[in-house]
Amino acid sequence: MRSAPTILHLDMDAFFASAEQASKPSLRGKAVIVGGLGPRGVVATASYEARVLGVHSAMPMAQARRLAPNAAYLVPRFAFYRSISEQVMALLRALSPLVEPLSLDEAFVDLEAGGTAWDAESARLAGVKLRADIRAVTGLTGSVGLAASKMLAKIASEQAKPDGLVLIEPGTERALLGPMSVRTLPGVGPATGDHLRRAGIHTVEELAEAGEDELVRLLGKSLGHALYAMALARDERPVVAERETKSVSVEDTYDVDIHDRVRVALEVQRLADRCVRRLRGAGLSGRTIVLKVRRYDFSTLTRSETLRGPTDDPAVVREAAARLLESVDTTGGVRLLGVGVSGLADFTQEDLFAQAAGEREAEDTGEDREVEAAKDAAVEVPVERRWVAGHDVAHAEFGHGWVQGSGLGRVTVRFETPDSGVGRVRTFAVDDPALAAAEPLPLVSRGSGAVVDGASA
């Protein structure tokens, strides 16, 4: 482990919810919950105002509504969040070539590799500047942890939340970790935590005192050795700039179980097409097609088929997914479907099956056209569902706004922008020709003077 706290961990504060609050002046300082709004939806992110009420990520949305009935409930805008994430990651890469993104809002940075920091003071200054730059460029806040290892840097950023910076001085790690719960350590989830608790081990200090042999006896060789090392604050994992993508997949959860076998098949075909679009967007191909089916009783089945060579041909993926579906009993109903591709490569091997599929598509028989028409009808969304809660719209007379809600042929819109005051609310018919979907506005105007890589942003 290094002798200076030059590993930085950044975690944006309540990222999705904070982005929505910054985008919508009327929601600032109020409880905001972002996630799936259907009866089976879950919370993706809750603002700190909502967390005070007991709402947290991965909670069923129905439970969140009971805890916070007056909160604003919004559907995620992932393209918007991704654009903000790209701005943040650009700031991190200006600090070092070794940036390890963990998600849209979280990453490790090796400051030493970038020559940005070499001791505690230079690391602290880098962290302070980063937080200021993030606020200037995105209008949002992030919490920073600095330490001599990845494990400790992540623990430090958690302590820094919200909107803070914590630096763990080398030599103080054992004293800091000792009184913490064993659940603080990576790899200790609810089941492992309960197992340790039953053995009388509650804190990291008690974990270290138990000894390596006892932990191996309790937890097995791999986890026992790993947890003992972490209890002693040992973590030699490097910051890895490129995390290899192992698979590409898409899945949908349905508000109402699907019982119609034809509809299930059409959904699988649609998911296969989406998966291939994502695969091609990443410049990848893959050999193994995976089908995931969660049935009415929550039992989850996976089926896979490995091709002769990697492909990114949608016809090949569709046909493989259809074959896999034939081996799954969906009689009782399906609540989730997913299609994935693994065994990835950055090239495509021409395949005779792909060529044959392409020739069949080129023929495009009348029967094929009927299937496509049926598919379109099956997934057609009622007109009022075009107006998704939280998403952006523009009106010919009133300008930019966002959807507060829709139903019964009406849509309610609040007209405001990130740099306006709280906007006014108006209601329209869902088919009002003056109302249209719109792209999100930037949270910080270009005239703000923020600097990224030495250039005005």
Active site residues: 106
DSSP codes joined into one string, 83-101? HHHHHHHHHHHHH-S-EEE
Termini Cα distance of the chain: 37
- Return the closest-CA partner of residue 178 out of 156, 157, 209: 209
**Tally: H helices and E strands in the chain:** 15, 19
Strand 72-74 versus strand 32-35 pairing type: parallel
Quote the CA–CA distance of 39 and 41 in Å, as a whole number: 6
- Return the closest-CA partner of residue 412 out of 385, 383, 437, 389: 389
Radius of gyration of the chain (CA): 25
Q: What SS3 state is found at 363?
A: helix
- Return the closest-CA partner of residue 400 out of 417, 384, 381: 417
Quote the CA–CA distance of 444 and 83 in Å, as a whole number: 13
Residue 304: CA atoms inside 13 Å, Cβ hemisphere, count?
13
- Count CB neighbours of 160 within 10 A: 23
DSSP conformation class of 42: B
91 neighbors 114 (Cβ within 8 angstroms): no
Q: What SS3 state is found at 131?
A: helix
Look up residue 432 and give its amino acid: D
Which helix (H) or strand (E) segment holds residue 280: the answer is helix 261-281
